[in-house]
Amino acid sequence: MLQHHIEQHSVVDNQRLVVTLASTQAEIEEAQRLRYEIFANEMGAKIQSINGLDIDKYDEHCQHLIVRDEDNGRIVGCYRLLTIEGARKVGGWYSAGEFDLSRIEHILDRTVELGRACVHKDYRNGGVVLLLWTGLIKFMHLENLSYMIGCGSISMSDGGHSAASLYRKLEKKYLSPLEYRVFPHVPVQLDKLQQDLEVSTPALIKGYLRAGAYICGEPAWDPAFNSADVLIMMPITRLDERYLKHFCR
């Protein structure tokens, strides 16, 4: 089974962790409960909930990558992974709801879309994210996938000034080649916002960029999360050699 090929154990700050793919509906629901706790309760996102779970139409067509604390049994981190087969069944990619993906259409049959990444607040020491990435890279190798895409969110809690400033900073170094450029359906009005603030990059986006990812164009506005979303894309061939050696050992 795919779960057994991806499973990996690790000890970080005396926490015994294991990453694998969810294999039961109960595990998926536990991941959805963690997502709701973080996105709705912690971040204030306006998302629909069923019994305290974050559920949408994509979930049943995704693989769910989970990290569990082996000492207390809790799921403490998760990703959901959508491939072309799932995207066809559900009617499209999640990111296509925010961006025109026409220019990258030719790579999507070899792509995994990452979504709903979250880590429990007591486990944000880097270990869970590292295990999620390890599981992700193993999944890509096993499924013969060459690209990863996903929406990276930047808070617009200050009206969007920090998001505009961060995008202008990041585009100077990380903007993709034209052939990977996408276009937001509802663009953030960058020119109406302050663009010279000193801002820090969200940890998840910073991790992607350090590993070798691109930003594929200007951000879209996500009203549910009140965020400016940029499309992140990385060909596996751009994955930094240091990361590749760690993830594929």
pLDDT in tens, 143-190: 999 999 999 999 999 999 999 999 999 999 999 999 999 999 999 999
DSSP label of 175 = B
Sign (positive or negative) of CA dihedral 114, 142, 247, 13: positive
Which residue type, as a one-letter code, is found at position 133? Answer: W
pLDDT tens digits, residue range 202-223?
A: 988 998 999 999 999 999 999 9
Q: DSSP labels for 83-136?
A: -HHHHHHHTS-GGGGTEE-GGGGGGGGGEEEEEEEEE-GGGTTTHHHHHHHHHH
Strand, helix or coil at 172? helix
Cβ atoms of 79 and 38 within 8 Å: the answer is no
Position 119 scores a pLDDT of 95
